[in-house]
């Protein structure tokens, strides 16, 4: 891949009548390919578009890109591998399915690890995010901004969930990561890892009874039409990442890298704002569409039921104990 940055010096003085004469070189500029699983009006999608527009503007058209929304470039676990290989240049991923390739990201897939969304922001923007980012870099991905995905709760077509016992026997779709399988099994539910795009049909046909997700995803996928009980367990707060393939990153000049980082951070701020509004709008929409929402006054029984997930995780990953404790002991 050749970037026109090489021509920067040659072009620097080429101002003709007040306009940069870039036409001759834009043809050799690579257009980055961006992966996104969400629909176009989703907060993630809008923030990604604003990131790409900003990068194109700030690099004077040297770095441009096209974002492929709706998962058309493939499902999430595959796309993560493709980013690592440099087949896809950048993408926006949940850290949930990233755990299979980057062990550090599993720490934020542990149930109830963050105490709140503001705490998640604070820790991801600090030492915890830095440690996870290093793990990602080691596996070929460069984080450019941490996005918000709220809290995930269970929904299904059978019954409201008020206690862990209500999950017993339910067939629940989970994201592809053994941790989530264990999480559902800790309540004697039957967990099925499955691609996001297959969930609607699977609930509709009874292959699974339900799944778990945040309100915007429950709404944007129309899962609420086929699983009307939404029980606010809020058991997972999993941050997401706008990230670039290390292979693509290494082809950038230091100036372009600085622009990418800044634009990534700026897009994360925008995404977090948009997220709040979308969450409220999604809750309204699903309730208007017939969803029966129940809140869980006491989440302690869920925390207790899911505790074995921590035990087996730490036994298998003793080197991540400090990172887990850094979050658990944070205010």
Binding site for ligand BDP (CB under 6 A): 37, 76, 94, 149, 175, 196, 213-214, 217, 240
Extended strands (E) in the chain: 15-16, 19-20, 31-35, 64-68, 90-94, 141-147, 152-156, 171-174, 190-193, 210-213, 229-236, 240-245, 292-295
Residues 112, 299 contacting (CB under 8 angstroms):
yes
Identify which of residues 59 and 214 has a Cβ nearer to ligand BDP in the complex.
214
Residue the block writes with tokens 């998962």? 71
The string of DSSP codes covering 30-54 is PEEEEE--S-TTSHHHHHHHHHHHH
Least CB distance to ligand BDP at residue 75 (A): 8
In this structure, the chain runs to a length of 331
Tokens of 312: 């087996």
Identify which of residues 65 and 150 has a Cβ nearer to ligand BDP in the complex.
150
Residues 216, 42 contacting (CB under 8 angstroms):
yes
Least CB distance to ligand BDP at residue 321 (A): 27
User: Is the Cα torsion angle 218, 224, 227, 233 positive or negative in sign?
Assistant: positive
Identify which of residues 3 and 143 has a Cβ nearer to ligand BDP in the complex.
143
Least CB distance to ligand BDP at residue 237 (A): 11
Least CB distance to ligand BDP at residue 84 (A): 17
Identify which of residues 214 and 245 has a Cβ nearer to ligand BDP in the complex.
214
Query: Angle at CA 244, nearest 5°, toward 177 and 55?
Result: 140
Identify which of residues 217 and 267 has a Cβ nearer to ligand BDP in the complex.
217
Identify which of residues 64 and 75 has a Cβ nearer to ligand BDP in the complex.
75
Least CB distance to ligand BDP at residue 65 (A): 19
Least CB distance to ligand BDP at residue 221 (A): 9
Angstrom distance (rounded) from CA 320 to CA 325: 9
Least CB distance to ligand BDP at residue 249 (A): 21
Identify which of residues 83 and 175 has a Cβ nearer to ligand BDP in the complex.
175
Least CB distance to ligand BDP at residue 251 (A): 26
Identify which of residues 132 and 175 has a Cβ nearer to ligand BDP in the complex.
175
Of 150, 153, 151, the C-alpha closest to 275 is 150
Is residue 29 exposed (0-12), middle (13-18) or buried (19+ Cβ within 10 Å)? buried
């Amino acid at each position: 891949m050749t970037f026109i940055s090489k021509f920067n010096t040659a072009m620097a003085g080429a101002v003709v009548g007040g306009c940069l004469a870039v036409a001759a070189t834009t043809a050799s500029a690579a257009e980055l390919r961006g992966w996104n699983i969400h629909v176009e009006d989703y907060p993630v999608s809008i923030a990604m578009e604003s990131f790409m527009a900003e990068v194109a503007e700030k690099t004077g058209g040297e770095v441009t890109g096209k974002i492929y929304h709706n998962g058309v470039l493939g499902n999430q676990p595959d796309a993560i591998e493709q980013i690592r290989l440099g087949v896809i240049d950048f993408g926006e991923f949940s850290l949930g399915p990233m755990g299979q390739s980057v062990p550090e990201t599993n720490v934020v897939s542990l149930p109830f690890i963050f105490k709140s969304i503001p705490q998640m922001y604070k820790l991801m923007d600090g030492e915890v995010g830095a440690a996870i980012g290093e793990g990602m870099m080691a596996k070929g991905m460069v984080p450019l901004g941490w996005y918000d995905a709220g809290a995930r709760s269970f929904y299904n077509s059978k019954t409201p969930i008020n206690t862990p016992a209500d999950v017993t026997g339910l067939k629940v779709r989970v994201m592809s990561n053994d941790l989530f399988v264990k999480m559902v099994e800790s309540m004697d539910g039957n967990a099925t890892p499955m691609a996001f795009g297959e969930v609607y049909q699977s609930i509709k046909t009874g292959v699974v009874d339900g799944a778990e997700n945040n309100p915007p995803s429950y709404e944007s996928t129309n899962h609420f039409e086929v699983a009307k009980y939404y029980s606010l367990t809020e058991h997972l707060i999993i941050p997401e990442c706008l990230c670039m393939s290390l292979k693509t990153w290494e082809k950038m000049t230091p100036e372009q890298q600085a622009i990418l980082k800044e634009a990534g951070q700026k897009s994360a701020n925008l995404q977090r704002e948009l997220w709040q509004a979308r969450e409220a709008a999604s809750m309204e929409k699903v309730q208007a569409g017939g969803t029966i929402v129940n809140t869980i006054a006491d989440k302690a029984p869920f925390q207790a039921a899911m505790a074995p997930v921590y035990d087996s995780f730490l036994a298998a990953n003793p080197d991540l104990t400090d990172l887990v404790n850094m979050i658990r002991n944070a205010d």
